[in-house]
Amino acid sequence: MLKSWLQINTCNGFYCDYFSPNSNSKPTMWTEAWTGWFTAFGGAVPHRPVEDMAFAVARFIQKGGSFVNYYMYHGGTNFDRTSGGPFIATSYDYDAPIDEYGLLRQPKWGHLRDLHKAIKQAEPALVSGDPTIQTIGNYEKAYVYKSSSGACAAFLSNYHTNAAARVVFNGRRYDLPAWSISVLPDCRTAVFNTATVSSPSAPARMTPAGGFSWQSYSEATNSLDDRAFTKDGLVEQLSMTWDKSDYLWYTTYVNINSNEQFLKSGQWPQLTIYSAGHALQVFVNGQSYGAAYGGYDSPKLTYSGYVKMWQGSNKISILSAAVGLPNQGTHYEAWNVGVLGPVTLSGLNEGKRDLSNQKWTYQIGLHGESLGVHSVAGSSSVEWGSAAGKQPLTWHKAYFNAPSGNAPVALDMSSMGKGQAWVNGHHIGRYWSYKATGGSCGGCSYAGTYSETKCQTGCGDVSQRYYHVPRSWLNPSGNLLVVLEEFGGDLSGVKLVTRTT
């Protein structure tokens, strides 16, 4: 282990002005200055006001901070199945100064640029020693840096959350908006204030660039192949799949005697399934009986539904789906996924029958995955039919030309349910039109301590609508789009769009 005197401890967070390294001989470093927060499927979209972001950085620098690294400065995309959480969305835009598509997010980018220009102007004084602190009001302070050569820089801060202040510093008056800091690189002229944004706002626009003509292929829901294996009782999903696929089939059989009362009354038995997460679909004798899913704050789920059964052997097939692996939390390596039970069938002559400990047959992944139907070569391995968008567990394909110009490209998937998508064999990632059921999407004031739940948008809307398709993946024409739809959706609503500011 590296000796402690060789280590430099650092700070990650929304604010780090409180932080000090474990030795005065070490620099004060902010290795993750959080510009926003991630989006979760089923959650509202977080935004961090640039006035507060600039205020947090200025607070850190005025107290002697020497290094700031933004997380994220350039937003990104969790392509393939790399998003974690679980339930973290495919977009990792993070409300960053440069967005997921590589475009400037204004005014955040410009305002932070101007902040660092002001800090750079103050550099001769900042690197010369520690500040002296002057109280210039009830909520106001001045942090003053001076060098032996005469350089002087000051930070004038107002920590009040809802009141501006007029202060006097070195015989001059300065107006400080609430929750703001002014930077004076020469101890006289305020060249920048964190709450005064001069960079113009430039909201991004998504412009439709065409639709698609679809063909479909239905995934088998009532058959097993030579990859299947049988065990007594229920098993944890990741211990079987090792994350080679999001999917694990749980299949068992239930024998129904001819004297069961429901066969005469038509009051079908009730199937109840308890799962550790993250989503599942139920099929009985090949017929779909719906889906259930958890959420970011509560991945566990319960399915309960009435299912039609006949005399004799009945096949129950449960498709369990993971939505990313956990990547934080206490002992997250031990968090479970999949159907761990109990699984019960009630409404029988005997009352309730527990199916949890009987024999279950398992199969990792989908048949279409094993055939590689998402790829250019593998798509020809199955017979495609006419479009069947609203059916669950169905593959769809379409061909399209790249939009003209150089603007970033995305897919509008808001009309679909849940699944995955590929372009020319490249995995865009998981999509899910999971609506944000909560959140705080009212007014947003930059002033006051920020948290990821403070300033949100999209309450009641799908958490992620657009999915980035890098231009480098596209050919001028004949591009193959393959979509695996788990729940069923409206294919006519899928659109190609371009992003501009």
pLDDT one-digit tens code per residue, 198-233: 999 989 999 999 999 999 999 988 778 889 999 999
pLDDT tens string 256-301? 999 999 999 999 999 999 999 999 999 999 999 999 999 999 999 9
CATH classification of 205-217+369-500 is 2.60.120, yes or no? yes
Could you give the CA distance from residue 326 to residue 336 in angstroms, rounded to a whole number? Answer: 10
Q: Does 205-217+369-500 match 220-365 in CATH topology? A: yes
Structural domain spans, the chain:
122-201, 205-217+369-500, 220-365
What's the pLDDT at 223? Answer: 79
CATH code reported for the domain at 220-365: 2.60.120.260
Across residues 84-96, what is the average pLDDT?
Answer: 95
Q: Give every CB contact of residue 345 below 8 A, 6+ residues apart in sequence.
A: 254, 269, 270, 271, 272, 352, 353, 355
Which tokens go with 469? 């398709």
User: For 96-143, what is the HEC assignment?
Assistant: CCECCCCCECECHHHHHHHHHHHHHHCHHHHCCCCCEEEECCCCEEEE
Whether the upstream peptide bond of residue 107 has omega within 30° of 0, thus cis, is yes
User: Phi/psi of residue 359, each to 5°?
Assistant: -70, 135
Across residues 453-476, what is the average pLDDT?
Answer: 97
Asked whether the predicted pLDDT for residue 9 surpasses 90, the reply is yes
Q: Which residues pair with 353 in a beta bridge?
A: 345
**pTM confidence score:** 0.95
Asked whether the predicted pLDDT for residue 182 surpasses 90, the reply is yes
